[in-house]
Amino acid sequence: MMSELTNLTIAEARDLLAKGETSSKELTEAHIAAVEAARSLNAFITETPEKALQMAEASDKRRKAGEAGVLEGLPIGMKDLFCTEGVLTTAASHILDGFHPTYESTVSRNMWNAGAVLLGKTNLDEFAMGSSNMTSHYGGVENPWRKSGDNRPLVPGGSSGGSAAAVAARCALGATGTDTGGSIRQPAAFCGIVGMKPTYGRCSRWGIVAFASSLDQAGPMGRTVRDTAIMLEAMAGYDAKDSTSVNVPVPNYEAALSGDIKGMKIGIPKEYRIDGMPAEIDQLWLQGIKWLEEAGAEVMEISLPHTHYALPTYYIIAPAEASSNLARYDGVRYGLREGADGSLDEMYEATRGKGFGMEVQRRILIGTYVLSAGYYDAYYNKARKVRSLIARDFAQAYEKVDAILTPTAPSAAFGMGDKMDDPIAMYLNDVFTVPASLAGLPGISVPAGLSQDGLPLGLQLLGKAFDEETVFKVGGVLEEAAGFDATPAFLAA
């Protein structure tokens, strides 16, 4: 019974709860056991079983009283980048040691208001900077998948690697992620689950530890397209506390899953056919095109001419914003303090030198450099101009098509420890996800097949700004056609 409960989709669990065939308490207990059983994955930084049970009991009471929200009674994981009141929040960084926020992020607040239950805070790359989850101060996360005939541990992708691993291993019905350059979509692809990055401005950034404010966006991770649609409806919404939050109504995303894409126009960007792309990824992409054509969509080649420049643009803008955002960690207001015997400047330098890991330091230094006098125009302003060109590419493409189909990542999951000595090779993981991030557009990764080694591969669908409905609709068709039902080597419970 336990494993049956943890194997449910969010939609199935919701329906069982509504029919009174299970309770939030029962569902939550099964998932608490699953979280414990999966400790070897290191997917959670903090487990909150007692809080989960309290929330589940309160949820069951609300349901009895006839008040059930969109996520009523459903146990989920929360990326440890969302501030949760009274619950340790680390951003996977040493510098936030012992930080217990005295406030709740808007997105997590929205989810509790909708009835969700917190299982714990999931692991991530430090400050969400990474594509492997290996930069976490709390150690890497193991992908529950293994190559066939090879038991070496693989990364779950990143930065939302703990969330992806937890959902894939059946520890949580769903989990939150944040995506700055691919941090929801790439780990979703690596772990064989669905991950959705909404339009910039759709979810409030208030109370999310900031990485690159013009790019960061929260989104759902789940085992089906429908589950992510249900979650996003609860997460999204205008928030006066985030000045970039956009005041538009949140639709019922689940209702968009009609399965009908007849006559819809889907673009295939020719610039995404990059050198050295594995044949199996190209094959899967062609298969995806075929599936959408068979469902009645009209598929056409499009051009996004500045694609090649998206990654270098991102690696100016994101570190520049990060170096400013991370200036707040100075050993004064929260977290770690080192070198307090010296001067104020010495304390700052000691605290930040000890508290930030290597990748975070690298990005702070790059960001400081590109923003420094004499280089600001050559690097930062140049990148902002190229960003305008990249956004214009998409705007022109969307005059002709309704959505765009690409692979999510240029490879399947790689080994823990691989690519660690080559930052640029690591950055290339995000080659297909970064352009839409720069343009602020919504995108989803849907598991679509297995590599020759038996690892999941994802396809990505991108949509127009604030048209998540089309992204979900086409994603649902892709999911249905792919019929992805493989399960990872490791399953909790």
Partner 1 sequence: MSVDKETVANIARLARVRVDESHKESLAKELSNILGWIEQLSELDTEGVEPMTSVVSMKLPLREDEVTDGGYPDKVTANAPEGAHGFYAVPKVVE
Residues with a catalytic annotation lie at 79, 159, 183
List C-alpha distances in Å: 476 to 23, 229, 479.
28, 10, 5
**Which residue is it, tokens 């960061």?**
216
* Site string (451-490) toward partner 1, x via CB under 8 A: --------------x-------------------------
Euclidean distance between CA atoms 369 and 323, whole angstroms: 9
Our CA dihedral for 461, 464, 466, 471, rounded to 10 degrees, sits at: -20
Within 10 Å of residue 250's Cβ, how many Cβ atoms? 17
Q: Which is nearer to partner 1, 9 or 214 (CB)?
A: 214
State which residue, 301 or 345, has the beta carbon closest to partner 1.
345
Q: Does 18 bind partner 1 (CB under 8 A)?
A: no
- The stretch among 109-117, 121-129, 187-195, 197-205 that binds partner 1 (CB under 8 A) is 197-205
For residue 98, state whether it binds partner 1 (rule: CB under 8 A). yes
Minimum separation from the CB atom of position 335 to partner 1 (A)? 7
The nearest distance, CB 441 to partner 1, in angstroms, is: 8
Tokens of 444: 């989803």
**447 strand-pairing partners:** 458
Residue 388, both tokens: 């305008």
CB of residue 225 vs partner 1: minimum separation in angstroms? 24
Query: Shortest approach of partner 1 to residue 388 CB, angstroms?
Result: 4
- Give the integer Cα–Cα distance in Å for 73 and 22: 10
312 binds partner 1 (CB under 8 A): yes
Query: Which string of x and - marks every residue 338-367 that binds partner 1 (by CB under 8 A)?
Result: --xxxxxxxxxxx-xxx-x----xx-xxx-
Residues 6+ apart with CB under 8 A from 476: 225, 226, 257, 259
Least gap, CB of 83 to partner 1 (angstroms) = 11
Lookup result for tokens 């140049």: 382
Query: What is the C-alpha to C-alpha distance for residues 184 and 195, in angstroms, rounded to an integer?
Result: 6
Q: Judged by CB, which is closer to partner 1: 22, or 244?
A: 244
State how far the Cα of 181 lies from the Cα of 161, in Å rounded to an integer: 14
- Which position among 66, 102, 263, 483 is part of the footprint of partner 1 (CB under 8 A)? 102
Q: Select the span of 143-151, 258-266, 276-284, 330-338 touching partner 1 (CB under 8 A).
A: 330-338
The 221-260 site mask, x for binding partner 1 (CB under 8 A), equals -------------------x--xx-x--------------
To the nearest whole angstrom, how small is the minimum distance from the Cβ of residue 382 to partner 1? 5
CB of 226 to partner 1, least distance (A): 27
According to the binding rule CB under 8 A, does residue 88 interact with partner 1?
Answer: no
Q: Is 337 in the site for partner 1 (CB under 8 A)?
A: yes
Query: Which of 68, 250, 299, 389 is in the footprint of partner 1 by CB under 8 A?
Result: 389
Shortest CB 423 distance to partner 1, Å: 6
Q: Lay out the sheet containing 44-47: strands in order across.
A: 44-47, 117-122, 75-79, 174-179, 217-222, 194-197, 443-450, 456-463, 403-407, 265-269, 298-302
Could you tell me how many residues make up the chain?
Answer: 493
| Cβ neighbours for 18, distance < 8 A, ≥ 6 positions apart | 68
Helix axes 10-18, 24-37, angle to 10 degrees: 150
Given 214, 287, 451, 487, the residue binding partner 1 (CB under 8 A): 214
Helix (H, G, I), strand (E, B) or coil at 17: helix
Contacts of 264 (CB under 8 A, 6+ apart): 296, 297, 298, 402, 403, 470, 474
Task: Please identify, among the stretches 24-32, 33-41, 120-128, 379-387, the one whose residues bind partner 1 according to the rule CB under 8 A.
Answer: 379-387
Binding region for partner 1 (CB under 8 A) out of 47-55, 141-149, 381-389, 449-457: 381-389
Calculate the alpha carbon distances from 474 to 251, 363, 377, 390, 418 in Å.
16, 36, 41, 23, 34
Is residue 383 at the binding interface for partner 1, with CB under 8 A as the rule?
yes
Per-residue mark of binding to partner 1, 141-180 (x: CB under 8 A): ----------------------------------------
List of residues contacting partner 1 (CB under 8 A): 98-102, 199-201, 214, 240, 243-244, 246, 306, 309, 312-313, 315-316, 323, 327, 330-337, 340-350, 352-354, 356, 361-362, 364-366, 368-369, 372, 378-379, 381-389, 391, 423-424, 438-440, 465
